[in-house]
Structure 1
Amino acid sequence: MHSINLFAMSTLSASLLVLSGQSFAHEEHHAMSMSEPQTQPVEDILMDHSQHQKMSAAPQVVVEEKQVSPPQHAHSNLDDLDQDHQFDHQVDHAAHLKEHGGQIYQQTTLESKWLRNDNAQGQGALKSELETRIGTDENKIFIKVHADKAESQQAEYDAKLLYSRNVADFWDVQAGIRYRNDPNREIDQNQVDAVLGLHGMAAYFFETNAYVYIGQDRQVSFNLETERDLLLTQKLIIQPYLDMNIVLSDDSNYAKKTGLNSVQVGLETRYEINKKVMPFMDVAYGYNKGVQETAWQKSSSSENAWFYGAGMRFKF
């Protein structure tokens, strides 16, 4: 029994020694791990740094590739935007022209009047005029036809076709041709002249036409027509006017005397029933220098005369 107790005590003592040795070793290892510095070999640090550079450089390359090569449809989108902008600009320009004189318009005036000559035993003449203009404010075409039918004579007429181009405020330059027909002549019944002139509004609102005519046989002449409306009421209007012809040269078979060849100053009084129908009365004083003597006509002296009559004007 005593031996058993000794064995048990020795066994317990051995167990305590083993347990105390393990605890001491664990505390010593823990002390050593806390006291020793946490160092890493230099080679491992360099390897880690180089790998970090490679890893950090890789995404930069991807970003640069995305910046260098944009999407392929970007150019097509820019072209579409540019075409849309040009189309909008054209639409705006067309609308601006339409609102500010770019539209095409047409106007026709037809006038016919009977005038009596006070110095020719009451003989009269029927005068008719047709004027049509078509175009824009900048470019127009004028067609003018004038016919005279004196008593006991056949009607003579002339027709002009003119291109009109706006060059300044209220002024157009016109150029074209004039065709003349006089069946009362034995020869040279049909003639063609070149026309160059101005059409517009002179100072103090005088509507003015000034033309130079150049034809065969050195026929050169200048014509000036000017008129102005003076409103007595909204419908009753008086219109003073001037019609003057200057012959610069004429070697034709029916030559006119050079210089101031004819002039007519008149006063027209009209009543506008509306803007399309306008009856009027006309009183004028005229001067004519006469014609030269040629193989086909006798020379005539100058004459003065009063003219008076009435007529009708239509606009449409």
Structure 2
Amino acid sequence: MGHDAPTPATPGTPAATGHEGMDHGAMGHGPGQPVDHAAMGHAPNGDLPADAEPRTPIPEITEADLLAAVPPMHVGHETHDTAIHSYWLADRLEWQDTEEGSLAWEGVAWIGTDINRVWLRTEGEASDGEIESGDLEVLYGRAVDPWWDVVAGVRQDFGEGPSRTYAAFGVQGLAPYKFEVEATAYVGTGGRTAATVEAEYDTLITNRLILQWQAEASLHGKDDPERGIGSGLSTVEAGARLRYEITRRFAPYLGVEFERAFGGTADLRREHGEPVRDTRLVAGVRFWF
């Protein structure tokens, strides 16, 4: 480019820039002429021209690259597939600190596809080797939303007093803020009706230590003295159970549960010398497979 060494400046004269030897005409521009950067082989901003080849060639995407980026889904459980799956949960299997000591349980299971399932739900209490109260529900459930199912089927009550059979209709699923909710209405023989609403919420203290909150309310349309049930709001139960997940499938827990009877149910309990309010400690295990 003809760059000469710069010469020292003398007083009163401009300093030499070192460009005196440049042949600007050979570079394609002279005084007052625009600079032709394209002819010089570079764009004004220092990047390569748009039609230039990349400095580092980009390799073609191979089948191995695609498999590494998006692994294949588990065979047999694609979204909304027709394969049969199942889930069995013993949510509560516990000893309760009552006067005689009692065993209580609550469980749920399902078998079917992602959309259509058969549900089993059961809960109850036993004391001195006899079931005081219990129920078993067999329901057909259909997913109507990613988080909600509608269910319909039958419920059988057993234990002390005569057995009762009901038709059941309801919804269950995950409400906003991760509340697990079940709401079911029942219609039985003799004009008997009932409804239950249950909600659960898990508070993660650590990855393995979890506090489960639970509340349930039961209502009945008419008195059923043979089973100790009065019309209206029957009972409300609330509890908290702190479990430690030794594995995700098995967790022992300790907790406390409160129960209160209302209306006609409370009157029937008073007649039989039973408490209307009861607070008890519980200890048990939760497991699923």
Kindly report which structure 2 residues correspond to 1:1-316, keeping only aligned pairs within 5 A, or say none.
Answer: 98-102=77-81, 103-110=83-90, 111-117=92-98, 122-151=99-128, 153-182=130-159, 184-185=160-161, 189-250=162-223, 253-254=226-227, 256-289=229-262, 291=265, 298=271, 303-316=276-289
> TM-score when scaled to structure 1?
0.60
Residue type matched to 2:200 in 1? E
Q: Is the 8 A contact 2:266 2:276 kept in 1?
A: no
CA contact (8 A) 1:291 1:300 kept: no
Q: Which has the larger radius of gyration?
A: 1
- Is the CA contact (8 Å cut-off) linking 2:204 and 2:211 kept in structure 1? yes
By how many angstroms is 1:150 displaced? 2.6
Judging changes above 3 Å, is the alpha-carbon distance between structure 1 residues 254 and 137 closer, same or farther for their aligned structure 2 residues?
Answer: same
Using the TM superposition, name which of 167-176 and 141-150 deviates more. Answer: 141-150
Residues 232 and 215 from structure 1, CA distance in 2 versus in 1: closer, same or farther, beyond 3 angstroms?
A: same
AA aligned to 1:160 is E
CA contact (8 A) 2:120 2:137 kept: yes
For 1:111-144, what per-residue CA distance to the aligned partner results, in whole angstroms no more than 9, with x for missing partners? 4101124xxxx33321123322111221111112
**Percent sequence identity over aligned pairs:** 27
CA RMSD, aligned part only?
2.8
> Does the CA contact (< 8 Å) of 1:217 and 1:252 recur in 2?
no
Residue aligned with 1:229, SS: strand
Query: Is this contact kept in 2: 1:235–1:273, CA < 8 A?
Result: yes
SS at match of 1:228: strand
Q: Deviations over 1:214-256 (max 9, x none)?
A: 1122221110111011111110000111111112233564462
Whole-Å separation in 2 of the counterparts to 1:116 and 1:301: 15
Distance 1:116 1:158, change over 3 A: same
Kept in 1: contact 2:257–2:282 (CA 8 A): no
By percentage of residues, which structure has more helix?
Answer: 1
Closer/same/farther in 2, CA of residues 101 and 264 from structure 1, 3 Å limit: same
Structure 1's unaligned 5+ residue stretches are 1-94
> The residue matched to 1:217 in structure 2 has which SS?
helix
With structure 2 as the length reference, what TM-score do the two structures score?
0.66
Q: Tell me, what secondary structure is at the counterpart of 2:177?
A: helix
**Which stretches of structure 1, 4 residues or longer, exceed 3 Å deviation after superposition?**
95-98, 151-156, 250-255, 290-294, 297-302
Give deviations 1:137-189, integer Å, cap 9, x for gaps: 2111111232310348544432110000111231110000011222x33xxx2
Segments of structure 2 that go 5 or more residues without pairing to the other structure are 1-73
**What is the CA–CA distance in structure 2 between the aligned matches of 1:190 and 1:257, rounded to whole Å?**
16
Change (3 A) 1:279 1:180: same
Tell me the SS of whatever aligns to 2:230. coil
Q: Matched residues in 2 for 1:170 and 1:97: separation?
A: 21
For the Cα contact (< 8 Å) 1:114–1:310, is it kept in 2? yes
Q: Distance in 2 between matches of 1:245 and 1:278?
A: 28
Residues 252-307 of structure 1: per-residue CA shift (max 9 Å, x gap): 6446222221001111110001111110112122101253889xx95778711212
* Amino acid aligned to 2:88: T
- Tell me, what secondary structure is at the counterpart of 1:291? helix
